Structure 1
Amino acid sequence: MLFHGKRHPESMGAAEVEAFLTHLATERGVAAATQNQAKSALLFLYKEVLGVQLPWLDEIVGAKNRDRLPVVLTPTEVRALLHELNGASWLVAALLYGTGMRLLEGLRLRVKDVDFERRELVVRSGKGAKDRVTVLPENLLLPLKEQLARAKVLHERDLDAGFGAVWLPDALAVKYPNAPRTWGWQWVFPSAARSVDPRQGVERRHHLHEASIQKAVAGAAKRARIIKPCSPHVLRHSFATHMLQAGYDIRTVQ
């Protein structure tokens, strides 16, 4: 609307949308993902809000993807970062670095997917909706067992209070009605407080929010005086890089 002189969207159509999206790429120099997000938002506005079907926008100049190297911390920087963390935030960050998991993959771990005997973690519905197995570092066995003990105390309190059911994916809760209350399906990193699921209106305990870990890692990086951009995902890149530097085969890392 601002780009076209504060005209109302109903008075504009495909030509104006194409002009704006092309402007984003050619004049503003935005990333391809930013342009695609703007395109999706405009298509939603016209289709769902205004009830207007825009033709296929094939005259748009697309923003180019830029190949960028990922940020990688040195082993010394990783140690400094983890030293500034504590509690569940430390354990989550240590698992991301020690297993190569993504942040949400780590937070969505279920108790049944932790195998201490085989020192393995099963990642469910990862990128591409695929399951995979990753390593469980030996120095995290005891901290992870202590975390599970704390989670079990919370779960037992919830059961005593008439709660204790956890969200299950797909239709598993219908197929296995007793499964949501069993210990194996509980989150490894449960939230400190219960909340109401807005989709179903059910009060239950979710896993830790990713924003809390992101904020903790950013604060730890600042205290550790790490000048590189630092987020939880950086630990995944660092894991892969350090594995390769240690002589592991790239196919094994992949």
Structure 2
Amino acid sequence: MKFSQHITIKHLLIDNKKFIGLQFYSNKALEILVKQLHKAMWSEEFNMYYVPNNKTHLDEVYDTFRGVAWIDSKYFFNKTRSKELNEVFDVEWYRKRVKPSKYKLCPESYLQKLELKKYSNNTVRLYVKLFEEFINHYSDKDIDHINELDIREYLKLLVQSKRSNSYINQSINSIKFYYEVVMGMPNRLYRIERPRKKKKLPTVLSNEEIKYLIENTNNIKHRCIVSLLYSAGLRRSELLNLKINNIDSSRMLIHVVDAKGNKDRYTLLSKNTLEDLRKYYKQFKPQEFLFEGMKNQQYSGGSVGKVVSGAAKRAGIRKHVSPHVLRHSFATHLLENGTDLRHIQLLLGHDSTKTTEIYTHVAKSSFDSIKNPLDL
């Protein structure tokens, strides 16, 4: 059933009490129904009606608007799309570090919630670093007394300091995590604006540059790493998490397990790469992960980055080449060779073709039929 009206339910914290906020475009019929809800009130501050936050009132909201309006609950129910990793939660670095006596540390509850949400160790380090920078900016204030105005002033300072949009967005995420997730105050940062995302086109290598890149790797292991990143369109983390049994040579497919968004998928296995992988396996004899470092430990992301950048430098490629550039190149070359956008989406593991459509802006085939006016 398709509804012309919809109501978004949100968490509200008013006078330290939790409520269910009901946000919708002005509509007389909906307003009449909302006012009939038990203990329904209006908030001038948040510009929405609200009712007490408990199961009885939540059920009443759904019962009242069933068949009348669609209830959008994406902001209400606590879901996480964080990747469930097999890595062990490690905060020893947090305990061992030496900090000045007046330096305010991230609360233990913050770390506990990050662990509960199964955030990766890299994300934990980043969130702790950024949140501590924030709370130490207000060294004379208790963190629970820092208000929305203070947060805005801090973000303004980051903008003036010419911090990147990515840095500012991550800072907002780290602050939101404390007040909204740890402290359970979900409406605390409703009105905090994020910087607009820059719509940058991906860097793409030519087929010839890819060939030079692979030829300029140091050994068979590095050759397999670069070849797989490109020929399978893998993310760096996906390559690192590959296990030996994920390579299906009988079907010429690679099984990517627990990728971004906790999704599995299959992608292509190149014949040339399979030949190299067999040589690599005989020489290096990995035990569990396809690529392992010292003492059969999982290979590190930093090592993969150095393998790619080192090969690019030796190949004389002046573009900045990262593992993700190889993934971009894989998708673009498939598009240029006539592969359907939907198939590329599935190979990359994108949720929507809208994400995949960016490659139409860099694919050479998109411009082949256009005559340059200077050449007419």
Task: With the length of structure 1 as denominator, give the TM-score of the two structures.
Answer: 0.71
Is the Cα–Cα contact under 8 Å of residues 244 and 250 in structure 1 kept in the other structure? yes
2:302 maps to 211
Which residue, out of 137, 141, 146, partners 1:10? 141
Unaligned runs of 5+ in 1: 156-185, 195-204
Q: Does 1:188 align with 2:290?
A: yes
Query: How far apart are the structure 2 equivalents of 1:111 and 1:9?
Result: 54
Name the aligned partner's letter for residue 131 of structure 1: D
Q: CA RMSD in A?
A: 3.1
How do 1:116-135 and structure 2 match up within 5 A? 116-135=249-268
Query: How far apart are the structure 2 equivalents of 1:246 and 1:48?
Result: 46
Query: How far apart are the structure 1 equivalents of 2:200 and 2:161?
Result: 19
Name the aligned partner's letter for residue 24 of structure 1: L
How do 1:156-167 and structure 2 match up within 5 A? none
How do 1:1-254 and structure 2 match up within 5 A? 8-10=139-141, 13-14=146-147, 15-25=149-159, 27-28=160-161, 30-42=163-175, 56-87=188-219, 88-152=221-285, 155=287, 186-191=288-293, 193-194=294-295, 205-254=296-345
Once the 2 structures are TM-superposed, how far is the Cα of residue 54 of structure 1 from its aligned partner?
10
Is the Cα–Cα contact under 8 Å of residues 189 and 207 in structure 1 kept in the other structure? yes
Higher RCO structure, 1 or 2 (CA under 8 Å, sep 6+): 1
Q: Judging changes above 3 Å, is the alpha-carbon distance between structure 1 residues 151 and 220 closer, same or farther for their aligned structure 2 residues?
A: closer
- The secondary structure found in structure 1 opposite 2:267 is strand
Higher-strand-fraction structure: 2
Tell me how many residue pairs correspond in the alignment.
Answer: 210
Is the Cα–Cα contact under 8 Å of residues 125 and 131 in structure 1 kept in the other structure? yes
Name the aligned partner's letter for residue 84 of structure 1: N
Unaligned runs of 5+ in 2: 1-131, 346-376
Query: How far apart are the structure 2 equivalents of 1:190 and 1:5?
Result: 39
- The secondary structure found in structure 2 opposite 1:241 is helix
Name the aligned partner's letter for residue 114 of structure 1: I
Is the Cα–Cα contact under 8 Å of residues 168 and 195 in structure 2 kept in the other structure? yes
Once the 2 structures are TM-superposed, how far is the Cα of residue 146 of structure 1 from its aligned partner?
2.2
Q: Judging changes above 3 Å, is the alpha-carbon distance between structure 1 residues 245 and 2 closer, same or farther for their aligned structure 2 residues?
A: closer
- The secondary structure found in structure 2 opposite 1:10 is coil
Higher-helix-fraction structure: 1
Is the Cα–Cα contact under 8 Å of residues 22 and 62 in structure 1 kept in the other structure? no
Q: Judging changes above 3 Å, is the alpha-carbon distance between structure 1 residues 188 and 73 closer, same or farther for their aligned structure 2 residues?
A: same
Once the 2 structures are TM-superposed, how far is the Cα of residue 136 of structure 1 from its aligned partner?
0.7
- The secondary structure found in structure 1 opposite 2:278 is helix
Query: How far apart are the structure 2 equivalents of 1:47 and 1:126?
Result: 27
- The secondary structure found in structure 2 opposite 1:76 is helix
Query: How far apart are the structure 2 equivalents of 1:107 and 1:5?
Result: 36
Query: How far apart are the structure 2 equivalents of 1:63 and 1:30?
Result: 11
1:182 maps to none
Query: How far apart are the structure 1 equivalents of 2:246 and 2:137?
Result: 54
Overall identity of the aligned pairs, in %: 32
Task: With the length of structure 2 as denominator, give the TM-score of the two structures.
Answer: 0.50
Query: How far apart are the structure 2 equivalents of 1:23 and 1:59?
Result: 18
Once the 2 structures are TM-superposed, how far is the Cα of residue 102 of structure 1 from its aligned partner?
1.1
